[in-house]
Every structure is written in structure tokens, then in C-alpha cells.
Chains A and B, each alone.
Chain A
């Protein structure tokens, strides 16, 4: 098989001492930041973007992939031991996982989460290897009108399908599009306030660091928990025979749910983890244990979470469309090397892509080896003094933004965008649509321009390609469904009006 040969070549490259070192560093950092409260994988990648100035693209991407997968592992540790999930995808793990920990079964909860993540991550990466080249091979044949439609779909999906409030999703998206307007890409300076430092636009690193790191640190500072959290002590993770018997089917079912959702443009990990939880609850022979610490309720959602992480790499690598915040930052990292992202990536950068895919398998194995014995050590990270943690975030965020061009002006922009990030958290505006708007807005304009240049100004070219027509039909159907379900929804107890959100 062709892909298999390429993958073997990828392994050869990924198993060099240097790349192995970056993979190990990545999973180590990823797990640490996943465990640390207040820092997620997206923020870590944003803070580490300056690294791309110095190391080669393969090293950086291998490390970033390790951080991505590692962050998932670490996040589950926190939600099991603390019952305060840091990422929305770990919410479900916390339901049963923390109950298990309180019953003295923290070791088993951590073990089923870690092994389930390994199983799901490995199967998910295998599916990624199978599907991504095929998808890329098809997408690369599409013309600009279809690419334009796909970008519209990605924006619509992360805004309208994910999240709780569509109105707030659209507000975030259009704020992001506004930031993306700044600069002189079209030949004329837009929104630069006459400042030459803005002529090239706002550096996306500064936007990402400001929104993810500064915004989060300021928001936590406004609400810092004054009493210490109860951390459940934990020993070496292990599972009995019975636990294995109860875990393996949920792992596989979770994987089956997680991967497709991750691969869809409207993916994300929240929906599949909830679906997996509901499924396991229905199928379990120990239904009475649910809500009191059922191991199936940890195994399934954790597997779904990791499989969806692998799934989100399909649109990222095969189409060049990010569907999660972490994937968005990985896209930025690839672009910072001047590498054009999109379906042609498999053809133009085969070594890079296959080394990255191979390193996902390696990283996943390293995570299992690293996490089972080191769990008690990771738990200690939860006791880091909070002033140092958040002062450190502000410190490294400033360094990251300053290192872009050593201009204090960038730090001023960073503060402004950080305050925007703070306001977004206060007003419940989702972060993902904003960052997608900043990244994809300029691309949207570019694709539209090229499409109309080819058709010499004829707008009907936009729906002339079958893929584009299908995408628009799908968006129209989704809009109808949203409007219909919104209108039919019975008035909830709290006077929350859905109507105006729907017409958005």
C-alpha cells in the first residue's frame, strides 16, 4: 500500500534522535499544561509559536502534535482529581471520574482514561492516515468557488453548531473578521488608523497569545479562588480484570463516536463525549453505578475525546481548515514557515506530513508510558502557587508577543486584545469563532477574488461547482433546522429568548 510505504518513511524520519526528543518534550509539556489549571493546549501552542523561529518545521510540528495529544491526557487527570474540568471536552470525564476518585478508585479512573486514550488515539491516528490523503486527493481537485464554500462552511459550523448562544458566536466571528481586515493586503490600508506599524495587519501570534493567554490570566485574576481546592491523593494507576472487562467496549465505542465528529467541520469533542456517556449509560450492566462513579462513564468519553482530537487533524491537514482552537494554532505554526496549507500539503510537503503522522503514533505510546507511572507526580503540579502560575503566563505571553518584532507596540496591541479576551469570557463570547474569523477571513476574501477573477466578475461561478452547491444546500438546510427547532422550543423556565439568536 502506498500510504503504508509513506508512513514507514515517516517513522524513519520521526525516529531520529532529534525528532524523538521533540516528541518527548511535546508530550511532557502537553501533559504538564493539561494538568495545570488555567492553561490549555491552545494557550501553550500560542505561547510556543516563537519557537518556530528557531527549529525546523518537522521538529516544531512533532512537538506541537505531542502537546495536542498530551493536553488531552493531562486534562482528564485534572477533571478526575479535582472535579473542575478545564476544557469543555473533559466535562463528562469529571462526572463519573471524580465520583470514582472520591470512592477511592482514582487509580482505576486514571488508568482507564490513560489506556482508553491510548487505544482511541492509536485507532484515530490510523483512521487519519487512511482518510486524510484520500480526502486531500479529492479536495485538491476543487476550484476556488468550492474552497470559498468550504471556508464559509467552516465559519458557519464553528459559530452556529457549536456553543450555547448563536448570537454570541456570530459576535465573536465578526469581531475576528474585523481584526482580520486590518492591514493593506488589498493594496489599500484598512483600519490602520494611519499607523504604519499596522500596515501589515495585526500579527496573528499577538492575537492568539492575547486572546488565549492574557485574556485567560486576567479573567482568572478577577475570580481567583481564595480557598485551596480539594485534591484527591492518588497512587499508581492500575486496573483489575473486571475493570478491563468493563472498559474495552466503551473505549471502542467512544472511538467510533469521536473520530467522525472530530473530522466533521462542525466537530469538536463536546458532542461525541456527551453521546458516548449517554450510550454507555444505556448499554451498561451496571446502570445503577452511573452518577456514583461508573468506570464505563470515564472510559467511553475519554476515548471519544482523544479520537476526536485525531479526527480534527483530517480537515486540518487535508483541507487546511481548523475546527478547534488548538488546530487553528497548529495551522498558524505551519504557515509561519511559509508553507502553504491546504489539500496540496500532502504533495508539496510529504516528508513533513508523514513524519508528523508517524510521530502521532510515537507520541501516543510515549504518553501511555509516561502517564501511568508519573500520575502521582502530575497530581503534585496541581499545588503550584497560583500567583506564580499566572505571573508566569503573563511573562511568557509578553515575551512571545515581543519576540515577533521586538516592538513595544506589539505589547500594547497584546494588552488591548487581552482585555478583549477578558471581556469575551465575562460576556460568554466563545473564543473559537473569533480566532477562526481572524485566520480564515483574509482567505475568504482571497478565494472570492480569485474565483471572480477567473469568471471575470460573474457571481454565478460561486455555485457552479457541485461541491460548492452541496455545501450551500447543507448550510441552508442547517439554517432551516435551526430556525424550526428554535421556534418550536418550549419557553424555558428562565426567561431566555432564543428567537433573536436564531435569525442570526
Chain B
């Protein structure tokens, strides 16, 4: 997904002769186009509002969806002309290395596991899995300590919510145990 150098002239100075085209940005433009089109389509399914509603329920969706479509075209156009995004920087971010999308995918899988299991197992268990799992994906190799910290956090937050905030997080299979 990194930017690709495209040489536009046969020779000459590298700065003037190369053009950066971030092809992934076409994907973003397509995404904007799909979202805009869907918002407009959704607006067509709405019917007229009440008599005292001077702004029809579909007025804002038409405007927002339409502008999103325009922005999608403009972004595609800017991308073709060599407009590259300035990726966000930060203390722990090293933009000199290529992006590590495998790690992101693994994190998403752990996250998804939490979503699927939380009703059954309850937060006290899935929260611990979430913490230990993401820590492992991010490079921690002290598995026993990670699980211990995760259990302490998830059980601790469960009781913290219960006694401190008065909210009972669904306990899942631990119902009655906690």
C-alpha cells in the first residue's frame, strides 16, 4: 500500500521527473463514491416528512451524499496529479519502515474474537483474552505474565464497574461466580 514512484520523463532530475502516485488513494476515492452513492440511494427511499417539517428528511442526505460523490471525484483527480497524503506521525510511529498490515489484521482477529465470544463467556474472560492476545500480537512474549495482567484488568474492571459505577457488566458463563 506504499506510494509508487512513476517516472514520467525518460531522464532528467529525479525530483522533477518522478511523480508520486499513491494508488491506494484510488481505493479511498472509490470508498467515498460508494458511501456517497448509498447515502443518495437511501435518501430516495425516504418519503415526505410531516406537514410541520420544512426540511424534508431526505434533504440533508441528498446534499451530503452528493457532495461525497463530488469529493470522491476530486480525490481521484488529485491522486492522478500526484497528490500524496501526509501520514500521521507520533512518538511510537516509525514511518521509515513499510507498513505492517499483518499485525493490524491479527489485532482485528483478536478484536473480532472478543465480539463473538463476549455474550457467551462474558467480559471477565474475553477482556483478559483481548489484552493478552493483543499484547502477544504486538510482540510481548511473556505469555504467563500477559494473561495474569489481562485477568487482573478484566476482573478488576468488572468489579470496578459493579461496585464503583453501579453497572453490572453481563457475566456470561461466570454468572453467579463473580
Contact = CB atoms under 8 A, between A and B. Distances in A.
Interface of A: 37-38, 50-51, 53-54, 78, 82, 84-86, 164-165, 167-168, 170-171, 174-175, 177-178, 181, 186-188, 190-191, 216-226, 229, 385-388, 390-392, 394-395, 398-399, 402-403, 406, 408, 411-412, 415, 418-419, 422-423, 425-429, 441, 445, 448-449, 452-453, 456-457, 493-497, 500-501, 504
Contacts of A423: 28, 31
A168 to B, nearest CB: 7
A54 B165 CA distance: 5
A496 B39 CA distance: 31
A453 B109 CA distance: 49
A372 B83 CA distance: 45
Nearest to B166: A54
Contacts of B130: 391, 394-395, 398
Contacts of B123: 399, 402
Specify the main secondary structure of chain A where it touches its partner. helix
A226 B108 CA distance: 21
Given A54-B167, A174-B67, A495 B149 contact: no
Contact of B85 (A188, A223, A427): A427
A363 B68 CA distance: 43
B97 A385 contact: no
Contacts of B115: 408, 411-412, 415
A415 B131 contact: no
Contacts of B32: 171, 175
Given A164-B86, A411-B118, A178 B92 contact: no
27 contacts: A37-B90, A85-B91, A165-B83, A165-B85, A167-B75, A174-B68, A175-B32, A186-B57, A188-B49, A190-B42, A219-B90, A223-B95, A223-B99, A224-B139, A225-B92, A387-B135, A388-B149, A395-B154, A406-B170, A426-B99, A427-B24, A427-B25, A494-B20, A497-B78, A497-B83, A500-B74, A501-B78
B93 A225 contact: yes
Counting chain B CB atoms within 10 Å of each CB, which of A170, A402, A427 scores highest? A427
A167 B131 contact: no
Interface in B119-167: 119, 123, 127, 130-132, 134-140, 146, 149-150, 153-154, 157, 161, 164-167
Interface string B6-46: 00000000011001100011001001100100110011001
Nearest to A451: B54
Contact of A385 (B38, B103, B114, B140): B140
A445 B82 CA distance: 37
A400 B6 CA distance: 45
Interface string B98-123: 01110110011001101110110001
Contacts of A37: 90-92
Given A175-B68, A186-B53, A403-B161, 11 more contacts: A51-B165, A168-B85, A188-B46, A190-B43, A191-B38, A386-B92, A391-B130, A395-B134, A408-B118, A426-B99, A427-B24
Contacts of B150: 391, 395
B55 interface: yes
Contacts of B25: 427
Contact of A181 (B39, B132, B161): B39
Given A222-B99, A427-B28, A38 B91 contact: yes
B134 to A, nearest CB: 4
A186 B55 CA distance: 9
Nearest to B170: A406
Given A167-B75, A188-B46, A391-B135, A398 B127 contact: yes
A493 B16 CA distance: 7
B134 A390 contact: yes
B108 to A, nearest CB: 7
Contacts of A188: 46-47, 49, 57
B71 interface: yes
B175 interface: no
Contacts of B90: 37-38, 84, 86, 216, 219-220
Contacts of A165: 83, 85-86
A457 B71 CA distance: 30
A151 to B, nearest CB: 13
Given A86-B91, A408-B118, A224 B54 contact: no
Contact of B87 (A216, A408, A428): A428
Contact of A415 (B82, B101, B108): B108
A50 B160 CA distance: 12
A496 B71 contact: no
B1 interface: yes
A137 B12 CA distance: 64
A175 to B, nearest CB: 7
B12 to A, nearest CB: 13
A193 B119 CA distance: 23
B28 A222 contact: no
